[in-house]
Amino acid sequence: MSKVAVMGSGSWGTGFALTLCDAGNEVTMWARRAELCDAINTQHRNVDYFPTIELPPSLRAVTDPQEAMSGADFVVLAVPSQSLRENLRVWRIPENAVVVSLAKGIELGTGLRMSQVIAEVAGIPPSRIAVVTGPNLAREIAERKPSASVVASTSIETAEALQAICHTRSFRPYTNTDVIGCELGGATKNVIALAVGMAIGIGLGDNATASVITRGLAEITRLGQALGADPYTFSGLAGLGDLVATCSSPLSRNRTFGEQLGKGRTVSEITASTRQVAEGVKSCASIQALAAAHGVEMPIVDAVAAVIAEKMTPTEMITALLSRSAKPERY
């Protein structure tokens, strides 16, 4: 049994904390709001995100981040990508703890992956940093529906240690040492899911969505190869697996966001109507900048970034993608 702190009690923080409890660990969650913290401790429910799901009674919540992390062997970071840096600046991570990122985004302004932000801000060596990724829609995990997943670290020992503490009857984690590929797969599929959502919102058919998913995977793979990832990672759970889950599921916040755009709502209207994070809305710009810096062509990412910046409508986006010059199919 390990002592684990889960920093953040949104959807995925809650789903992963529940999994860690099921696997027999002592888990403490950090919640920003006292009301939510009380509800988790007294009603054993996350009333804001999963009001109908009963949480393990052993799952404890606290509002003090240092109390949550006290004595932790693993510190799991479950906050949005764009706020991770500001959080890490004030949190003091216990010495020797393994730091685990759940976030799927690329930092705006720096183009850094979350493991790089953790290393830079908290001064943690890469061998003590891990990420969790793959087809892991939080609600399904919280309902204990079966899923495979990926736990990645440049240190196989660290990846195996994380695998050992989160393997349950419904959650099957595979190790991977290609952290670059795993993080890029997780962040970039959100942008592709926005494009798929737009196609659905406009009312295009299954051929269109399959085409966007497949050409999206080609873009993700190209970017990954340019940044030093193993291309095989993208045919695995952290690539194809997560892309398919996110683009197919109405539970995906990114796909839903795109769908709303396709139906004619504006970015600010949709953002104002949900408390949940759709990471692709911000990461489309950072991924586009990263691709440009490495000379990688990513037409779907470019088109999504143009729609999010309100320089193009979703219908114009589809027209722009279809009218690109004809070429052979290649990665």
Ligand X SMILES: NC(=O)C1=CN([C@@H]2O[C@H](COP(=O)(O)OP(=O)(O)OC[C@H]3O[C@@H](n4cnc5c(N)ncnc54)[C@H](O)[C@@H]3O)[C@@H](O)[C@H]2O)C=CC1
Ligand Y SMILES: O=C(CO)COP(=O)(O)O
Pairing, β 60-62 against β 26-30: parallel
190 touching ligand Y, by CB under 6 A: yes
* Residue 139: C-alpha distances to residues 4, 147, 184, 253, 299 (Å): 21, 11, 23, 11, 31
Query: Using CB under 6 A, which of the segments 47-55, 63-71, 228-236, 242-250 binds ligand Y?
Result: 242-250
Q: Which does residue 319 bind out of ligand Y, ligand X, none, counting CB within 5 to 8 angstroms by kind?
A: none
Structure tokens at 196: 């798929």
To ligand X, the closest distance from the beta carbon of 37 in angstroms equals 11
Cβ–Cβ < 8 Å for 299, 120: no
Euclidean distance between CA atoms 314 and 198, whole angstroms: 6
Task: Respond yes or no: is residue 311 known to be catalytic.
Answer: no
Single out the catalytic residue among 3, 145, 189, 282.
189
DSSP class of residue 50? B
Q: Which does residue 242 bind out of ligand X, ligand Y, none, counting CB within 5 to 8 angstroms by kind?
A: ligand Y
Helix (H) or strand (E) holding 38: helix 34-42
113 touching ligand Y, by CB under 6 A: no
**Residue 279 marked in a binding site:** yes
Say whether 161 sits in a helix, a strand or coil.
Answer: helix
Residue placing its CB nearer to ligand X in the complex, 87 or 225:
87
Binding mask 245-264 for ligand Y (x = CB under 6 A): xx-----xxx----------
Euclidean distance between CA atoms 218 and 75, whole angstroms: 34
DSSP labels, 100-129: EE----B-TTT--BHHHHHHHHH---GGGE
* Residue 13: C-alpha distances to residues 141, 176, 182, 294 (Å): 11, 21, 19, 33
Contacting positions for ligand X (CB under 6 A):
8-13, 32, 49, 78-81, 83, 87, 102-105, 136-138, 276-277, 279
Residue placing its CB nearer to ligand Y in the complex, 253 or 282:
253
Number of residues that bind ligand Y (CB under 6 A): 13
Residue placing its CB nearer to ligand X in the complex, 104 or 128:
104
DSSP labels, 270-312: HHHT-SS--THHHHHHHHHHHHHHTT---HHHHHHHHHHTTSS
Residue placing its CB nearer to ligand X in the complex, 276 or 319:
276
Query: Using CB under 6 A, which of the segments 60-68, 133-141, 267-275, 282-290 binds ligand Y?
Result: 133-141
242 touching ligand Y, by CB under 6 A: yes
Q: Please enumerate, as own/partner, the contacts of 271-275 that have beta carbons within 8 Å and a separation of 24 or more.
A: 275/48
To ligand X, the closest distance from the beta carbon of 279 in angstroms equals 4
Q: Which does residue 163 bind out of ligand Y, ligand X, none, counting CB within 5 to 8 angstroms by kind?
A: none
104 touching ligand Y, by CB under 6 A: yes
Residue reference for tokens 């529940």: 18
**Residue 226 marked in a binding site:** no
Name the binding residues for sn-glycerol 3-phosphate.
104, 134, 189, 242, 252-254
Name the binding residues.
11-12, 32-33, 49, 104, 134, 138, 189, 242, 252-254, 277, 279
Which positions touch ligand Y (CB under 6 A)? 104, 135-137, 190, 193, 242, 245-246, 252-254, 279
Catalytic site positions? 189
